[in-house]
């Protein structure tokens, strides 16, 4: 049971900062670019604004998760007492 708790805590250390960064990144990106001006491989996106915002958020969140996972402490021993 303790392993699941440690794994969950480690996962939250990766996912939560990525979630916050995705929110900020989406605010900045879509305050500069209009969703209907975006093109995918030269073709305009025929989706609603909300769908483009959602896809953008999950894209930024995925990049944030990848960044946090690659730079986070992967082998930290959480059971060890602090020095």
- Straight-line distance from the first to the last Cα atom of the chain, in angstroms, rounded to the nearest whole number: 25
With bands split at pLDDT 50, 70 and 90, how would you rate the model's confidence at 69? confident
CA 41 to chain CA mean position, Å: 23
Phi-psi map region of 42: left, alpha, beta (phi>0 left; psi -120 to 50 alpha): left
3-state secondary structure the chain: CHHHHHHHHHHHHHHHHHHHHHHHHHHHHHHHCCHHHCEECCEECCCCHHHHHHHHHHHHHHHHHHHHHHHCCCCCCCCCCCC
- CA-based R_g, the chain, Å: 18
Span 10-67, pLDDT tens digits: 788 889 899 999 999 999 999 998 888 888 898 888 888 899 899 999 999 999 999 8
């Amino acid at each position: 049971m303790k392993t699941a708790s440690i794994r969950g805590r480690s996962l939250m250390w990766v996912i939560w900062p990525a979630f916050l960064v995705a929110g900020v990144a989406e605010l900045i990106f879509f305050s500069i670019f209009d969703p209907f001006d975006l093109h995918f491989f030269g073709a305009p996106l025929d989706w609603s604004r909300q769908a483009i915002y959602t896809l953008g958020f999950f894209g930024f969140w995925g990049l944030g998760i990848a960044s946090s996972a690659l730079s986070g402490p992967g082998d930290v021993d959480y059971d060890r007492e602090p020095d």
